[in-house]
A and B are shown apart, each in its own frame.
Chain A
């Protein structure tokens, strides 16, 4: 059982780092660094999956870890960078909520998540920790979508939420069945492609990807 304890320590470290990477996204004003932070977050998530795979001995999870590594920390960031380069968008993200209030709100969301998970009171220390982090990721992802103007950031926000869900699933139940997992990866990839195309369309129609412009669509 020593492996699992070892696993839990290192997993805790990784989860903490994932949270840090999330705050990197919140605290950055440049598109590239946001994408980079997302790549790092996904890489850490792949490591979590790998460790869980090693300590539980489920071979399926190695595939999941590898897929996370390839799709989320390489392919998707590449798509992001491709979009940013192609539509020659200004590299700064514009905000509704400034950096420092963003960080504070992010912190508050994390605290709320921890408080809520504690009150659920059903699991061991590790899974409680992971679940709180997962819920923090979901709410911070949503907050990123709310507080940033550029359509790319909305896309990034939903991917952060997805990462949060993935973290929750892998640490609570040691992963869903492989088939489901594969389906989700496929969904995410296709989702990113579609959102990318939509961003191109938005850019073409409004000559900007500021979501401000979309309010002209209401009657």
Chain B
């Protein structure tokens, strides 16, 4: 009963937030506070609700009983986990938003933003609780369209409109495949309710099962951003306001992960080896290419968007490995893989939202997204720098923060593949482990760049020089998630316990007694290995004062302070600093065959060839997917449209004539007994 109140309470909170935002539209400040605080309240309800489900029984509620559009909710532990992820992130982002939207006061319609924001969050909650395919598609589409409207919130900006267009086209292609998948499932099950999908999964003929899985993978993969369907992410996430990017990148793409797990494990039983292999290959490629392209990006938010592609890859590696184990009849190993995937889902949601909020603060105060124009921000914005650093360490998978735990678990799951009977599979999974290791290293390199170039050294532009620290509410939002990063990192054994209850329900086997010890998490292999991030963290705090102690001891000696010797060059201007382009140059050279970099130098001379007047330097990498995959497809579509356009004369009369001819032919066909 309590659960019912909580569930409808959270829905009401978001609806109230949405409506009051519009009603109070006249007053920007009031509208922002009421709508975002209402969202915060909804998030609190969401957290309590999901914790109550995770520690108790599942929740079901039906508002109508039709088999086609059954407005029903079903929250099992998997759904509850995703509600928890969404709610934690929404809680922090809503607090952050109250400060962030001040930038738009007087310029943009705040009520509109508050309305869309609340409905967007609500639609995500409904997506993970829907219990009927038709209802699911309605809320899924709602989520897509609302997020589209948020992407084009700054619609006076041409880039935003273009990004919005790419996003809405891609997301609808994805929805098309989802509908196909659901139609196959509904065709075998006889109704659109998810319970019948579950029943259909065990009785379906194999080829239909394959088709349903493939369509679901393409459909949900588009939303999740797997390579090569990731194309919209680097456009849409940067174009949206930063609080929305945090939600889109942090949690919206996770709803696709939720449905992938739901479809492949819950509905279809994950019984086929090549499904897992396919997911694993796509995931590894996404992880590697995502981080590689991120390294070449100098737009802060695009860089983060590419990291979303990478992290979705890492999550899917866990899930793919789980599917492989499942098909080999090792549910306990599958549970381990799934725990790794779900753990990373949670972690990525937390640190990616944190990073997007950090990027939002920087952009808020410097008004540029180009990291080449930052520099020295650690002095102007010390707290933002601290929180961004926490996010960077987490995403780079360094202990004791959360990214490390889940990537370690994922790697362990890959290593567990030595238990598989088939040698080819074994080797393939181990290779993907090597890929994951490389991904982690490149991610660390990328965040050394992102943090170092942005926050350290001297300001590289007037923008960075005049930067100011973000307001308290924004810092509070980031602080909450920074704490979460640390907590998820040093207390993994609690999280693993929760995740185990989910996999127990999904796969029917509990492994908690074998992987969770005192302050340590372990693996399932025959030589059990464990790691305790808690002790690592304590060790860090023990050694943290060490430099201070050393400094105290050394300070007795006499110290000369002088400028660095720079071969006679003046060192202390920002023009001499290491740039992001220079930092990523070695990697651009090593991986030249993937990036296909090009550069162009144009020199203009004044009267004499000895005096250069101007040098224009241009360098870039080839957008491989856009050029070789999307451009031909677009070209074909446009060519066909051009032919179809002959029909579109623009005369009303012609269109009416089409109708008349169709009508007469149809009537004659029917009339002649056709």
Given A112-B664, A116-B667, A142-B659, A211 contacting B672 (CB threshold 8 A)? no
Q: Are A212 and B671 in contact (CB under 8 A)?
A: no
Q: Give the Cβ gap from B336 to chain A, nearest Cβ, in Å.
A: 55
Query: Is residue A134 within 8 Å, beta carbon to beta carbon, of the partner chain?
Result: no
Q: How far is the CA of A135 from the CA of B367 in the complex (A)?
A: 66
**The one of A119, A143, A218 that contacts B650, using a Cβ cutoff of 8 Å:** A218
Chain A residue with Cβ nearest B654: A146
**The one of B649, B656, B670, B672 that contacts A142, using a Cβ cutoff of 8 Å:** B656
Given A139-B664, A143-B660, A145-B656, A120 contacting B651 (CB threshold 8 A)? no
Q: How far is the CA of A211 from the CA of B655 in the complex (A)?
A: 12
Q: Are B653 and A119 in contact (CB under 8 A)?
A: no
Q: Are B650 and A154 in contact (CB under 8 A)?
A: no
Question: Contacts of B663 on A, CB cut-off 8 Å?
Answer: 139, 142
Q: How far is the CA of A211 from the CA of B656 in the complex (A)?
A: 12
Query: Is residue A206 within 8 Å, beta carbon to beta carbon, of the partner chain?
Result: no
Query: Is residue B657 within 8 Å, beta carbon to beta carbon, of the partner chain?
Result: yes
Residue total for A at the interface (Cβ-Cβ under 8 A): 21
Q: How far is the CA of A123 from the CA of B672 in the complex (A)?
A: 17
Q: Are B671 and A119 in contact (CB under 8 A)?
A: yes
**The one of A112, A146, A216, A217 that contacts B656, using a Cβ cutoff of 8 Å:** A146
Q: Are B650 and A217 in contact (CB under 8 A)?
A: yes
Q: How far is the CA of A29 from the CA of B271 in the complex (A)?
A: 74
Q: Are A211 and B653 in contact (CB under 8 A)?
A: yes
Residues facing A in B619-674 (CB within 8 A) are: 648-653, 656-657, 659-660, 663-664, 667-668, 670-673
Q: Are A146 and B653 in contact (CB under 8 A)?
A: yes
Q: Are B652 and A214 in contact (CB under 8 A)?
A: yes
Chain A residue with Cβ nearest B658: A146
Q: Are B668 and A112 in contact (CB under 8 A)?
A: yes
Q: A-side binding surface: helix, strand, loop or mixed? A: helix
Question: Contacts of A145 on B, CB cut-off 8 Å?
Answer: 652-653, 656
Residue total for B at the interface (Cβ-Cβ under 8 A): 18
Question: Contacts of B668 on A, CB cut-off 8 Å?
Answer: 112, 116
Q: CB-defined interface of B150-192 with A at 8 Å, one 1/0 digit per residue?
A: 0000000000000000000000000000000000000000000
Query: Is residue A215 within 8 Å, beta carbon to beta carbon, of the partner chain?
Result: yes
Chain A residue with Cβ nearest B671: A116
Chain A residue with Cβ nearest B672: A119
Residues facing B in A109-154 (CB within 8 A) are: 112, 115-116, 119-120, 139, 142-143, 145-147, 149, 154
**The one of B648, B649, B660, B670 that contacts A146, using a Cβ cutoff of 8 Å:** B660
Question: Contacts of A112 on B, CB cut-off 8 Å?
Answer: 664, 667-668
Q: Are A214 and B650 in contact (CB under 8 A)?
A: yes
Chain A residue with Cβ nearest B651: A215
Q: Give the Cβ gap from A203 to chain B, nearest Cβ, in Å.
A: 15
Chain B residue with Cβ nearest A147: B653
Question: Contacts of A212 on B, CB cut-off 8 Å?
Answer: 651
Q: Are A215 and B649 in contact (CB under 8 A)?
A: yes
Question: Contacts of A218 on B, CB cut-off 8 Å?
Answer: 648-650
Residues facing B in A86-120 (CB within 8 A) are: 96, 112, 115-116, 119-120
Identify 18 residue pairs between A and B in the complex whose beta-carbon atoms are under 8 Å apart, listed by A's number.
Answer: A96-B653, A112-B668, A116-B667, A116-B668, A119-B672, A120-B671, A139-B660, A139-B663, A145-B652, A146-B656, A146-B660, A147-B653, A154-B652, A211-B652, A215-B649, A216-B650, A217-B650, A218-B648
Excluding A139-B663, A149-B653, A214-B651, 18 further A-B contacts by CB distance (< 8 Å) are A96-B653, A115-B671, A116-B668, A116-B670, A119-B671, A139-B660, A145-B653, A146-B656, A146-B660, A154-B652, A211-B651, A211-B652, A211-B653, A214-B650, A215-B649, A215-B651, A217-B650, A218-B650
Binding site for A on B (CB under 8 A): 648-653, 656-657, 659-660, 663-664, 667-668, 670-673
The 8 A-B pairs of least Cβ separation, nearest first, read A215-B650, A116-B671, A218-B650, A119-B671, A146-B656, A146-B653, A142-B660, A211-B652
Binding site for B on A (CB under 8 A): 96, 112, 115-116, 119-120, 139, 142-143, 145-147, 149, 154, 211-212, 214-218
